[in-house]
Amino acid sequence: MALAVEFHHPFDDGNGRMSRLLMNLILMRHGYPITVIKADETTRNRYLAALSEADAGEPEPFLRFIIENVEASLRLMLRAARGEAIDEPSDLDKKLALLKKQVFTQYNATQGIWNTRKQETIFDELLNYWLTDLENETSRFDELFGRKEYISAVYFGPKSLETITPTSKPSLAIEFINKSFKSVNKLSTGVSLAITWENIRIDNTFIDVTLNINFIFQIEKIIFLARIIESTPNYNNDAQTRIVDLKIEDISNKTKLSYASPFDTNQIHEINYQLANKVYDFIVTKLAEADKPPA
């Protein structure tokens, strides 16, 4: 056995496979079983440390290490010959790791699709933060207008929806969505929230602005849409409605809305910040247009 160990040691780093093959050949020629140096971190560290000591002129630790591995191989052969189980603790760890990988892969797959279980958690995981943060970003416009109201709706198919009556309290509009999700067994297809500012505080200027946001729930992704709707009487007192669609690409190029948690709150906050800027730009544009005399 010492001969096999001595034959292994002189090989430079990078020739480990060859040295172990030749060492096992010598062991087999002298009636010993082959020895396998396991790849787990603990065994590998002991193996490398013993080799380093041998390089420094202390071969004894490396000899003991190889003897231990040969003895382990002998015990394994004897258990197999007696018909006993030859699984080792490390084998169980490997099998358990594979099982965990399979279970978690399936679990994550169910977390990544729209279903009733995800519907029960989507408010707490995404919508509550998103809508509350949006309110914080857009409430800075409130002082410019005489009135503000919210309307929220939850859709359960093309012909089924639940909608709240207009309210001045954002907490009621947001909580309505939460209760709608958790009080029914139907799968929602979408959520919308409309924030409307009315009666801008400038004499003889009529500007009403609505920020409407929508979450459309598809099987593997969430589609987010936003638009600004403005209804303004023209100089002939005829109601005019202008709709400006805000594509997600116009707001954030980096946002990817999927059902896998956790959602990126920094990106969500950035979207809401950009939405607030869009509302500001719209108001400023309408005020500039109001200063122009009719053609």
> Is residue 30 in some structural domain?
yes
d(CA 246, CA 214): 11
> Is residue 91 in some structural domain?
no
> Is residue 106 in some structural domain?
no
> Is residue 230 in some structural domain?
yes
Among residues 65, 86, 107, which one ends one of the domains? 86
Per-10-residue mean pLDDT for the chain, 295 residues long? 53 63 79 76 80 80 83 81 68 71 60 82 92 95 94 86 88 92 84 93 85 90 86 50 55 58 84 92 86 52
pLDDT of residue 201: 87
d(CA 134, CA 279): 12
Residue among 72, 54, 55, 71 at smallest CA distance from 63: 54
Number of domains in the chain: 2
- Look at the block and give the residue holding tokens 């399936």: 106
What range defines the domain where residue 82 resides? 2-86
> Is residue 286 in some structural domain?
yes
Residue 272 burial by Cβ neighbours in a 10 Å radius (0-12, 13-18, 19+): buried
pLDDT of residue 223: 86
pLDDT of residue 154: 93
- Residues 148 and 256 reside in one and the same domain: yes
pTM, rounded to two decimals: 0.58
- Residues 166 and 74 reside in one and the same domain: no
d(CA 43, CA 177): 56
What is the domain-level CATH number for residue 57? 1.10.3290.10
115-to-172, 223, 262 alpha-carbon distances in Å: 25, 16, 17
> Is residue 108 in some structural domain?
no
- Residues 146 and 286 reside in one and the same domain: yes
> Is residue 225 in some structural domain?
yes
Residues in the chain: 295
pLDDT of residue 106: 56
Give, to the nearest 10 degrees, the angle between helix 128-138 and helix 170-182: 170
- Residues 47 and 120 reside in one and the same domain: no
Helix or strand holding residue 108 (H, E):
helix 89-111
pLDDT of residue 253: 39
Among residues 86, 108, 143, which one ends one of the domains? 86
What residue ranges in the chain does DSSP mark as E strands? 145-155, 161-163, 190-200, 208-217, 222-233, 239-246
